[in-house]
A and B are shown apart, each in its own frame.
Chain A
Amino acid sequence: MTDRRLAWILLAPALAVLGGLTVYPALWVLWLSLQYRVPVFSISRWAGLEHYAFLAVDTRFWNAAWVTGVFTVCSVALECALGLALALGLRGQYRGRRVALALLLLAWALPSVVTAKMFEWLYHPAGGLVNFLVGGRTINWLGDPDLALPALIAADVWRATPFVTLLCFARLLTIPADLYEAAQVDGAAGLQAFARITWPLVRPILLVALLFRTLDALRAFDIMFVLTGGGPAGATETLTVYAYRALFQTMQMGFGSAIGVVVFAFVMVVAVAYLWVINRQDQTA
């Protein structure tokens, strides 16, 4: 048997699974988004671009797009800043560093439903640790439209900062110590050494982490669905939560798919940016 034939035989099962369960559904969702499809009422007819036209004037959609944007920008910015800071801090700590990294990794590896339930309890007005620590108040963190989104962002920052820390930390370990010693001899210490040595070397990794986190924040679902359910009054309803409700709570398969397609489009823009960055780094490396 030729290698070329063998290659296709080895590839075939994986491509068949991906074709049937990823590519086909991805095309089907585009098709679905052009239909009125409400299975419980046996409604199934062509809608064309009507769902998209409706989304353009749908205040609930624009609210969800805004919430998604705020959630994504704030979470990702905080995660990158704190992630890098934590990586820099952990660089020097030798005692207990393994335990510290395991603790961080665990926060990342936990099911996000667990994280959501954990924070729901931490935020509880009467029984939560957060209110106890701020002096026995009964602030309703998740019930107040002004506080719910920041509280949700804090939970996501807790969950995802370790991912950024880990990537930055791995990069920092590869910077030879004599670079800093040489800098110190030349009189560059502290901030100057950071600006001249650390930052240029860690920046490409931070960019990759930023794009990864942006992808994940745009398509995040579990944490808001379980923690706040999109409430109160839509204050934390992201596009994914809106899409889920349209799909499975009011069973509008066509309309919900159209919102899913919008998320898809946003994600693909970020994914293309990621590929572009990877390509450029390969060429410069």
Chain B
Amino acid sequence: MRASRVRDGLVLLALAMYAAPFFWQAMTSLRPDTELLPLTHLWPSRLTLAHYDVVFRQSLMPRALVNSLGIALLSTLLAVGLGALAAYALARLPVRGRSVILLGMIAATAFPQIATVSPLYLLMRALGLRDTWLALILANGSFTLPLVIWLLAGFIREIPRALEEAAMVDGAGRLATLRWVVLPLVAPGMASAALLAFLFSWNEFLFAYSLTATEASRTVPVALALFPGVFEVPWGDIAAASLLASLPPILIVVGFQRYLVRGLLAGALRE
């Protein structure tokens, strides 16, 4: 009884250490500038939306939010679209060297970005794609593709073959079976893969930082890292901007926790 009390206390302490930074960041974003530095009392005397006003009117953030949303959605579409087709072939069709390809997929998920960023930079420059959405869509899409293929091949293998065979006995071709039987059944798996791919693209920093130059394609993490401070660092504005940058991850965790966890576990443990 006493041991479990101690344990509950420690767990609560750990959770407080997770809640506190979020809470502090939210509070900083609502705190008047005059009460930020130095910090003399925990609770502000009043709350203000001035920092959000600055972020929306005078920073790159609004444009970066549009860029990030577009780039993350399109690279997710690229990865899940191509990934689903490839995963079906690897899970169900006779492919020579299947295990080599699957092993290559795991090896590719381990690639450090720092090792491929220099060739990608030269490649995008040579193709005239620097500072465009397309450069980041291709870079993020290809970077998440191995994980998506790996996940979806596992999910497809879980579907009973009999269902597909029944459809084919009824005269449906392979592609019709894929479209009308396999894809609907694997939809939850596609959701898991898509959420992970979207999170990766939304959070990605190194490619976005090195392949972009102007607000035409700067994403949210880059805008946040480059947040301008003329004479001093505007901590309240940065706190407001980082809360905006956290919105999609927050929505995904709150709304799709189950799918996200499922994808995470499958990615690590291979169901």
A residues whose Cβ falls under 8 Å from a Cβ of B: 1, 3-4, 6-8, 10-11, 13-15, 17-18, 20-22, 24-26, 28-29, 32, 82, 85-86, 89-90, 92-93, 98, 100-107, 109-114, 117-119, 121-122, 124, 126-129, 131-132, 158, 162-163, 166-167, 170, 190, 205, 208-209, 212, 215, 218-219, 221-222, 225-226, 239-240, 243-244, 247-248, 253, 256-257, 259-261, 263-264, 267-268, 270-271, 274-275, 278
Q: Contact: B118 with A209, CB < 8 Å?
A: no
Contact residue among B86, B120, B222 (Cβ-Cβ distance under 8 Å from A15): B86
B252 at the binding interface (Cβ < 8 Å): yes
CB distance from B155 to the nearest CB of A (A): 16
Q: Contact: A114 with B246, CB < 8 Å?
A: yes
Q: Contact: B119 with A24, CB < 8 Å?
A: yes
Residue of A nearest to B37 (CB): A127
Identify which of B17, B114, B117, B254 gathers the most chain A CB atoms within 10 Å of its CB.
B114
Q: Contact: B242 with A25, CB < 8 Å?
A: no
Residue of A nearest to B35 (CB): A127
Contact residue among B38, B78, B93, B103 (Cβ-Cβ distance under 8 Å from A10): B93
B159 at the binding interface (Cβ < 8 Å): no
B4 at the binding interface (Cβ < 8 Å): yes
Q: Contact: A122 with B245, CB < 8 Å?
A: no
Q: Contact: B242 with A167, CB < 8 Å?
A: no
Residue of B nearest to A256 (CB): B118
Q: Contact: A270 with B110, CB < 8 Å?
A: yes
Contact residue among A4, A111, A126 (Cβ-Cβ distance under 8 Å from B245): A111
Q: Contact: B110 with A268, CB < 8 Å?
A: yes
Q: Contact: B268 with A18, CB < 8 Å?
A: no
Contacts of B38 in A (CB 8 A): 126-127
Q: How far is the CA of A6 from the CA of B177 in the complex (A)?
A: 13
Q: How far is the CA of A260 from the CA of B116 in the complex (A)?
A: 8
Q: Contact: B119 with A121, CB < 8 Å?
A: no
Contacts of A158 in B (CB 8 A): 17-18, 21
Could you name 15 residue pairs across A and B whose Cβ atoms are closer than 8 Å? A6-B93, A14-B82, A21-B120, A25-B116, A28-B119, A92-B7, A93-B11, A110-B246, A118-B242, A163-B264, A221-B113, A253-B121, A260-B112, A263-B112, A278-B270
Please report the total number of B residues contacting A with Cβ < 8 Å. 93
Contacts of A215 in B (CB 8 A): 110
Contacts of B88 in A (CB 8 A): 10
Within 8 A of A (CB), among B19-54: 19-22, 24-25, 28, 36-39, 42
Residue of B nearest to A122 (CB): B21
Contact residue among A114, A218, A263 (Cβ-Cβ distance under 8 Å from B242): A114
Q: How far is the CA of A32 from the CA of B270 in the complex (A)?
A: 35
Q: Contact: A13 with B225, CB < 8 Å?
A: no
Q: Contact: A129 with B11, CB < 8 Å?
A: no
Q: Contact: A10 with B89, CB < 8 Å?
A: yes
Main SS of chain B's interface residues?
helix
Contacts of A25 in B (CB 8 A): 116, 119-120, 123
Contacts of A28 in B (CB 8 A): 119, 122-123
Main SS of chain A's interface residues?
helix
Q: Contact: B25 with A101, CB < 8 Å?
A: no
Residue of A nearest to B264 (CB): A166
Q: Contact: B112 with A219, CB < 8 Å?
A: yes
Contacts of B112 in A (CB 8 A): 218-219, 240, 260, 263-264, 267
B197 at the binding interface (Cβ < 8 Å): no
Known: A102-B254, A158-B17. A260 touches B149 (CB 8 A): no
Within 8 A of A (CB), among B144-194: 145-146, 149, 174-175
Q: How far is the CA of A158 from the CA of B24 in the complex (A)?
A: 15
CB distance from B129 to the nearest CB of A (A): 11
Contacts A21-B142, A109-B199, A111-B224 aside, 13 further interface pairs with beta carbons under 8 A come to A6-B93, A26-B115, A90-B11, A109-B203, A113-B225, A121-B24, A121-B239, A124-B235, A127-B38, A208-B269, A221-B205, A256-B118, A264-B115
Q: How far is the CA of A147 from the CA of B205 in the complex (A)?
A: 25
CB distance from B113 to the nearest CB of A (A): 7
Q: How far is the CA of A101 from the CA of B242 in the complex (A)?
A: 22
Known: A93-B8, A166-B265. A114 touches B142 (CB 8 A): no
